[in-house]
Amino acid sequence: MALADESAGHRFDGRARVVIEDVTPRVDAGEFPVKRVVGDLVTVEADVFADGHDAVTAVVLHEHEDAAEWSEAAMRPLVNDRWTAEFTVEEIGTHLFTIEAWIDPFTTWQRDLRKRVSAGQDVSVALQVGAELIRDAAEHASGEHRDRLRAFRDRLPSGGSTLSIAEDAELTRLMFRHAPRRFATRLDRELKITVDRPKAGFSAWYEMFPRSAANDERHGTLRDVEARLPYVASMGFDVLYLPPIHPIGNAFRKGRNNATDAAAEDVGSPWGIGSSEGGHTAIHPRLGTMEDFRSLRDAAQRRGIELAMDIAFQTSPDHPYVREHPEWFRHRPDGSIQYAENPPKKYQDIYPFDFESDAWRSLWEELKHVFEFWANEGVRIFRVDNPHTKPFPFWQWVIGELKREYADAIFLAEAFTRPKVMQRLAKIGFTQSYTYFAWRDTKYELIKYFSELTRSELREYFRPNLWPNTPDILPASLQYGGRPAFMARLVLAATLSGNYGIYGPPFEHGWSAPREPGSEEYLNSEKYEVHHHDIDRPDSLHDFIARVNKVRKETPSIAHAGTLEFHNVDNDQLLCYSRVSPDHSDVLLVVVNLDYWHTQSGWVEFPIERLELPSNRPYQMHDLLSDARYLWHGNRNYVELDPSSSPAHLFRLRRRARSERDFEYFL
Amino acid sequence: MALADESAGHRFDGRARVVIEDVTPRVDAGEFPVKRVVGDLVTVEADVFADGHDAVTAVVLHEHEDAAEWSEAAMRPLVNDRWTAEFTVEEIGTHLFTIEAWIDPFTTWQRDLRKRVSAGQDVSVALQVGAELIRDAAEHASGEHRDRLRAFRDRLPSGGSTLSIAEDAELTRLMFRHAPRRFATRLDRELKITVDRPKAGFSAWYEMFPRSAANDERHGTLRDVEARLPYVASMGFDVLYLPPIHPIGNAFRKGRNNATDAAAEDVGSPWGIGSSEGGHTAIHPRLGTMEDFRSLRDAAQRRGIELAMDIAFQTSPDHPYVREHPEWFRHRPDGSIQYAENPPKKYQDIYPFDFESDAWRSLWEELKHVFEFWANEGVRIFRVDNPHTKPFPFWQWVIGELKREYADAIFLAEAFTRPKVMQRLAKIGFTQSYTYFAWRDTKYELIKYFSELTRSELREYFRPNLWPNTPDILPASLQYGGRPAFMARLVLAATLSGNYGIYGPPFEHGWSAPREPGSEEYLNSEKYEVHHHDIDRPDSLHDFIARVNKVRKETPSIAHAGTLEFHNVDNDQLLCYSRVSPDHSDVLLVVVNLDYWHTQSGWVEFPIERLELPSNRPYQMHDLLSDARYLWHGNRNYVELDPSSSPAHLFRLRRRARSERDFEYFL
């Protein structure tokens, strides 16, 4: 390297002595954005240091990508050359941040002057050095600031209270502002933050099949769904997710229980999209019209419920695309179109798109258009079906494009596959992700999985959306655990993550029969037939669900991965964890009995000293499920859960009044 | 992003579906090279995966930076989408590697065909697909390979032993070689490996003051050092490191024991470099001439010893630079040159260079010239004094420049400062690093520190060089622990890292007196006065050191961080660890008693099953220090160490003959 080199667009200056390393938060060394929601505090940390003994000053520079200039947050040292600063993100969209740091001659001078004065040394030359630094800064200031700096400079060498002038707070502030930042090091990249609206981090989903929404023995319609909105709202859900509402193909249509031969009256799977009646932008005639859709959308909105659209990029053999765009499909040597298969299994009712097609660009554009069509109809939440079977570059592109136009869009990745694949989808732009929650049953499994999700880099970009059941997944716990299992799994889903959902009414009604033993498919699954649900069934979990969702809404810290902490219980069937607000004012302690058949008891270890609770006084735990109140003392307290009454406690900590004179209990 | 975009210099193709993530080994996400020595195996790992179910093929591409083209190593899958491959680095210099991966239609086809055949499906269309793939590859091959591929294609659809043809090893090989790698993903960066000569990873240093090398009451000379080479060689050292041999300044010269006022006869500190007799490229007249230096260098080489030069970039006020290049120093407001200080401490005998000078370029060039001067005199090992007080960009530049010219150069960073600073110096190019070893005394401290050095990313770039003592550091353990401490600390230094050194003869002679209580400075330090050493003292540790160095030479795995493993002992005073060669043929087990005053005993847990030792037969542990042999059984064995005889065992495992018929013990 020649020393006069130009590199990276600017002249190399060997005097930039400060090093900035290991910045957090970031994902894959900054290749992908971290995720936050509006109002979040972003805490930045980095190793910042230089050679020698000079003092270093560092700032975080941050801005919304549309902003005209950087805002600045001064960093402060922690230990071991680690520095930190924080700022709040107030606006949806992409925010950028970076770090700048430099050797600070003025703070170095202040620090050294203090030592020289303490040691009783002659500081006359040191004062001249300081005066030069202040003069230099004054030349970079103007107006009143310049005058003030000059005044400080003039007062400096006059002796007397040297240190009190040198360390004057106003002088320090003015010097930080105006002293030239010579040979500053700027981090070589700008790190990105995707800032979403709050619902990206805190949402309660309800999934239902529109065709099963009728109150009588009809094929349900979107109008029936509209009529069911009060029911959904009364349980406290704020996202209503509908499986595909498009026309369903006839070729190779699946019958009840996934039978290969459909009967004439069989309605087919909603994911077999497309017929002569239209494709991904059409509505199934038996469900209604676009007007019905808009009416549903508006009625939902009035109840604080947002519609989530299912985006399933595949077609039935009858889809208009097959005729109009054969180039988007793979053709077999015998001339037929390649149907979906996972050898030896064949899915002849489904054609996958061929993303290796020479016409991939027009395919991408068309698929983007599908999103745009529904976005123009007011949809901002998309539950994407099997994204892991379409190329990552496509998702990265299409989500990036759509978010430019619809910054408030939310994309949920329905990928149940290998961990690295699911993580990649979250990195490249999906807002929320399905998880392995349905298969994490034991205390060991739950602690391990949720520690990984909330304690590793995953917490920066992977937002779990937990589902105790889906139309594809009736997990073993719900097949065998009875009502306590449904209650426990609901509490877990609703409090282990800011985002969760259930598939109802089968959930409220405790559907537990699998298609066959060992299967996770529902018997007589709604995927292949119309059902009719009596939503007023007395055994419905409706009220319990409503209560849990109410607790969620009163516990904002559930939205934040960092507040999840597991606590020891001396019983492997009892899981305990807390959600604590940053100011410790709100504490939710969850205890769940994972044994759905027997009463279990144990001692919970809950470190109250961190909550500034006095160790010598009782405090009250208010179970929001049973409304019972318990007086607890110290760090170890007894719990006992009989699953036949309730498999969980949702304790809210009730503090007594903080006044020293208040000796009454707070019952 | 428009879909026809050009990006990163090549046309974006959305069909490149494979993802490559989390590649190891690398340092700071690839910003800095990893370090290896010639002959090392480099094991590369990465997450490699794609959407969907297609099979992926991945290769590591690697080359010496001067090579014309990449070599290729096929990767194989481990678990959880992690892949691996390895290659050997055979040449000094910078090597590069990267990864390429692609969807492999042929291996996908092979896999699926197997499943179709097992399921008894009609495979006629599948065979046509395979034939097309083979035809395609044949078109990309030539000569015999093309003919063979065509022959396979012709045999394929004829049925019969379909699978045996489809999975034929030759066909698989030919397809790997010739099938076009369509839509391949190449890792977006080439990762660097600095490959050094073996001594970078395995060296035993001996430091001595030339002026104390005389056998009589003279000021020693380089000729005296030459006369002492047989002594150094007999102990088994292969690097002889001399503190600065340049003229020493007179202004503010330090007297004995660092006294501020030197007496007329005081010789000064060798690090007070420069006088009217010359600077960093001159030899102190009392030490001899350049001819003497060359003679010493050649004599050392004949004994397998390499000279290490001390590079201390600072000057005495008398250095020619001060007169000739005042622009390289900082000037105070009173016109004087800024001496070194760490307020309130002043070091008026030392002028630091001003690396923020406008003339930094000429300063850098001159300092590089100092290295080049000694490199031209045949020196290839440089022990750099206090590199942490000079800018990182300077070191990165100067080491990079020098290694281009002298690829075999070795740079040892003498930085005892904060961890991040020491690590940065290693990242930017220093070959070896001083460590905190001198202050890691207890079992807890040693295990913690060496686990960090050998189990974290540090192992990829930070090569520890361990010193039980230096002229600046007489640690408390050596002040109070007596002869057992010297022996134990030597064994630890020599076997915990491939690189270590001692400062002698004070080490061999057990110097333990500090300048004052609480100080780590030697009383009557050789830094400020001439000493005379009787190297034939009967109490010298010479023979013990020679024995330890002999064991080192017979234990090549000591050079490799990855082979260091600590083992449980049920006694906090006993430290146990092993060094095992990759093929398990050589096993060194070290046990050290860290209590230098009392006999300690305990049970060592040594997992012999990993060494393929039969659990039902004894094996022999041969203590190479005492020459005693012990029969051990199983995983737990008793050890007892009396520090007054030996504070350590250096056990070499002696296996019995592997033959089943050999029933004799192996004593």
Chain-chain contact of A360 with B14 (C-beta, under 8 angstroms): yes
* Over residues A401-429, mean pLDDT: 97
Dihedral-angle region of residue B361 (phi above 0 means left; psi in -120 to 50 means alpha; beta otherwise): alpha
Helix ranges (H only) for A335-442 are: 360-376, 392-405, 419-427
- The identity of residue B518, as a single letter, is G
Our measurement of the distance from residue B602's CA atom to the centroid of its chain's CA atoms, rounded to an integer in Å, reads 33
Minimum Cα–Cα distance from A425: chain B residue: B51
Cis, peptide link before residue A514, omega less than 30° from 0: no
pLDDT tens by residue, A563-603: 999 999 999 999 999 999 988 999 999 999 999 999 999 99
Is A109:A130 a contact under the CB 8 Å cutoff?
A: yes
User: CATH 2.60.40.10 region(s) of chain B?
Assistant: 6-195
Q: Which of A40, A63, A385, A460 is catalytic?
A: A385
- pLDDT computed for residue B9 by the predictor: 47
Angle B419-427/B392-405 helices, nearest 10 degrees? 30
- Residues B73-129 have pLDDT tens digits of 999 999 999 999 999 999 999 999 999 999 999 999 999 999 999 999 999 999 999
A49 → closest Cβ in B103, B390, B418: B418
What's the CA angle centered on B659, arms B658 and B661, to 5 degrees? Answer: 140
Residues of B in contact with A15 (CB under 8 A): 355-356, 360, 391
Catalytic residue among B196, B238, B366, B414: B414
B410's tokens: 């070795």
Q: Dihedrals φ, ψ of A632, to 5°?
A: -110, 155
Kindly list the residues from chain A whose CB atom is less than 8 angstroms away from the CB atom of residue B187.
none
Q: What is the pLDDT of residue A615?
A: 80
Q: How many CB pairs under 8 A join A and B?
A: 159
Residues near B625 by beta carbon (within 8 Å), at least 6 away in sequence: B491, B544, B547, B548, B551, B646, B648, B649, B650
What is the model's pLDDT at position A663?
A: 40
CB within 8 Å: B15 and A356:
yes
Per-residue confidence (pLDDT) for residue B658, from 0 to 100: 52
- Beta-carbon separation of B365 and A3 below 8 A: yes
Q: Report d(CA B368, CA B462) in Å as an integer.
A: 23
Provide the residue type at B616 as one letter: N
Nearest CA to A92 among A201, A189, A191?
Answer: A201
pLDDT (average), residues A318-346 = 95
pLDDT at A189: 94
CATH architecture group of domain A200-551: Alpha-Beta Barrel (3.20)
- The string of pLDDT tens digits covering residues B480-505 is 999 999 999 999 999 999 999 999 99
Q: What is the pTM of this model?
A: 0.94
Q: How far is A617 from B426, CA to CA, in rounded Å?
A: 54
Nearest to B29 among A29, A47, A112 (CB): A29
**φ, ψ for residue B158 (rounded to 5)?**
-75, 5
pLDDT higher for B283 or A3? B283
pLDDT at B610: 87
For A305-314, letters b (16+ CB in 10 Å) and e give: bbbbbbbbbb
Closest CA to A202 of A563, A521, A479, A446: A563
Residue B638 structure tokens:
């008793």
**Token couple for B471:** 């002229």
Answer yes or no: is pLDDT of A636 > 70. yes
Residue A4: strand, helix, or coil = coil
Which of A55, A1, A56 has its CA nearest to residue B361? Answer: A1
Is A390 in contact with B51 (Cβ distance < 8 A)? yes
Longest dimension (CA), chain A: 103
Numbers of helices and strands, H then E, in chain A: 16, 32
Considering the four listed CATH numbers 3.40.50.12780, 2.60.40.10, 3.40.50.300, 3.20.20.140, the one that applies to the domain covering A6-195 is: 2.60.40.10
Chain A residues near residue B424 by CB distance under 8 angstroms: 19, 21, 49
pLDDT at A164: 84
pLDDT-based confidence at residue A140 (cuts at 50, 70, 90): very high
User: How far away is chain A from the Cα of B570, in angstroms, using its nearest Cα?
Assistant: 28
Q: What value does the mean pLDDT take over residues A312-337? A: 97
Bridge partners (DSSP) listed for residue A432: A412
Residues A217 and A532: beta-carbon distance below 8 Å: yes
Q: Where are the domain boundaries for CATH 3.20.20.80 in chain B? A: 200-551
What would the mean pLDDT of A108-116 be, rounded to a whole number?
95
> For residues A1 and A315, which has the higher predicted lDDT (pLDDT)?
A315
Query: pLDDT below 50 — which residues of chain B?
Result: 6-9, 660-667
Mean of all residue pLDDT scores within chain A? 95
Show the tokens assigned to B324.
């000739």
Q: Which residues pair with B640 in a beta bridge?
A: B601
Nearest-neighbour CA in chain A from B409: distance (Å): 18
User: Residue A162's pLDDT band (boundaries 50, 70, 90)?
Assistant: confident
Print the SS3 string covering B394-442.
Answer: HHHHHHHHHHHHCCCCEEEEECCCCHHHHHHHHHCCCCEECCCHHHCCC
Count of Cβ atoms closer than 10 Å to residue B545 Cβ:
24
* Prior bond of B25 cis (ω within 30°): yes
Domain A559-665 has CATH 3.30.1370.100: no
Q: Which of A40, A207, A366, A414 is catalytic?
A: A414
Distance from C-alpha of B14 to C-alpha of A282, rounded to nearest angstrom = 28
Residue ranges, CATH 2.60.40.1180, chain A:
559-665
Asked about B365 being catalytic, the answer comes back as no
Hey, what are A234's tokens? 């009364």
**Among candidates B47, B420, B424 on the partner chain, residue whose Cβ is nearest the Cβ of A420:** B47
CB B589 within 8 A of CB B606: yes
Q: Which of B63, B224, B266, B385 is catalytic?
A: B385
Question: Is the Cβ pair B81, A420 closer than 8 Å?
Answer: yes
Largest CA distance in chain B: 103
A185 min Cα distance to partner chain B (Å): 11
- Three-class secondary structure of residue A231 per DSSP: helix
Strands A629-632 and B6-7: unpaired
CA of B545 vs chain A CAs: smallest distance (Å): 36
A526 is an active site residue: no
Per-residue pLDDT reduced to its tens digit, A215-269: 989 999 999 999 999 999 999 999 999 999 999 999 999 999 999 989 999 999 9
SS3 A448: helix
Instruction: Tell me the shortest Cα–Cα distance from A147 to chain B, in angstroms.
Output: 23
Cβ contacts (< 8 Å) between A28 and chain B: which residues? Answer: 21-22, 29
Residue of A nearest to B23 (CA): A28
